[in-house]
Amino acid sequence: MTKHDREPGRPAGPWVVNEANGADCSASRLLFCFSHAGGGPAFFRPWSACLQPEIAVRRVLLPGREWRLEEPPFRHIADLVDPLCAALELHLDRPYALFGHSMGAAVAYEVARRLSAARGEGPACLIVSGRRAPGLPGSDRRLSALPDDEFVSEVARLNGIPPQVLSEPELLSMLLPTLRADYELVETYRPLPGGRLDCPVVAYVSTSDPAVQYAEMLAWRDETTGEFSVRVFRGDHFYLKGVRPDVLNAIREDLA
């Protein structure tokens, strides 16, 4: 067993980041944010203060990143969903929505389905960003199997690796196992058994995203019996990075 294989019975670390220290206890809605491959909750940190007091942001931290860096990352979404949903259950004390970007969209979608089935009522809204609908066929290309140099080049093409990481070989080598595991999770993902959602689904797509096309985002409408809509933003695959008023205003409207 390598250090990146999940050990049976290994205790899990904290799955949800909340830096508000009670400041958002009056928020009427929760927003759980799921990041892209290789990403962590820090990606959504700027949103917390911007969306208060109406929306309390809860950032999801998966094993293999930030202060869970020493924990083996998951390589298959079927293994991830059960422990993740069990952890999220502890935080569902009010109406909630899910936001997932890229890999996070697939994870958020499966979490939404699992919580809907288990609780009889799922999220008030699912927002998926930068990821084609799960019912569409995926690419046969396996970036996760490429040699390190080629793999890094392909990920960097999407702006998926910060320049400060690319310029630090030791830091890059430390992060590569998790990034590669995340890509394997994405590339092997197929929808898990279960029914369609009944909550509203909103698809966010950018104008210059090399990873997904508008038509592929439109196909998310087949994943719910509820309302469906699409929003288009200017930018590349990481159009939502930092604080963008148009993105944050869209989230407020979609969760209203």
142-177 pLDDT per residue, tens:
888 788 788 888 888 777 677 777 778 787 888 889
Residue 3 domain flag: no
Q: Give the residue carrying structure tokens 């279960």.
A: 194
**Is residue 102 flagged as an active site residue?**
yes
What is the residue type of 172?
L
Residue 4 domain flag: no
Does the pLDDT of residue 132 top 50, yes or no?
yes
Q: How far apart are CA 138 and CA 219, in angstroms?
A: 13
DSSP state of 152: H
Q: In what order do the strands lie in the sheet with 29-34?
A: 16-17, 55-60, 29-34, 96-101, 125-129, 201-206, 228-233
Residue 61's alpha-carbon distances to 69, 107, 133, in angstroms, are 10, 12, 23
Are the CB atoms for 174 and 148 separated by under 8 Å? no
**Per-residue pLDDT tens for 78-115?**
999 999 999 999 999 899 999 999 999 999 999 999 99
Q: Give the residue carrying structure tokens 């990606």.
A: 43
Please count the other Cβ atoms lying within 10 Å of the Cβ belonging to residue 153.
13
Element containing residue 116 per DSSP (H, E): helix 103-119
Does the pLDDT of residue 131 top 80, yes or no?
yes
Q: What angle do CA 129, 55, 220 make, to 5 degrees?
A: 25
Identify any residues that bridge with 205 across adjacent strands, giving them in sequence order. 232
Q: Find out whether the peptide bond into 163 is cis, omega within 30 degrees of 0.
A: no
Are the CB atoms for 181 and 187 separated by under 8 Å? no
Residue 225 domain flag: yes
* Total length of the chain: 256
Residue 172 domain flag: yes
Identify the sign of the CA torsion 80, 83, 85, 90. Answer: negative
Residue 11 domain flag: no
Residue 156 domain flag: yes
Residue 1 domain flag: no
Element containing residue 171 per DSSP (H, E): helix 169-188
Counting the structural domains of the chain, the total is 1
Backbone angles phi, psi at 25, to 5 degrees: -65, -20
What is the residue type of 223?
E
What is the residue type of 181?
A
Q: Which residue out of 102, 116, 129, 206 is catalytically annotated?
A: 102
Residue 203 domain flag: yes
Element containing residue 31 per DSSP (H, E): strand 29-34
Given this model, what pLDDT does residue 13 score?
A: 52
Q: How far apart are CA 75 and CA 43, in angstroms?
A: 21
Given this model, what pLDDT does residue 22 score?
A: 61
CATH of the domain at 109: 3.40.50.1820
Least confident span in 6-15, 79-88, 183-192: 6-15
Beta carbons within 8 Å of 11's beta carbon, 6+ residues apart: none
Given this model, what pLDDT does residue 114 score?
A: 96
Mean predicted lDDT score pLDDT of the chain: 88
Q: What residues make up the domain containing 202?
A: 16-255
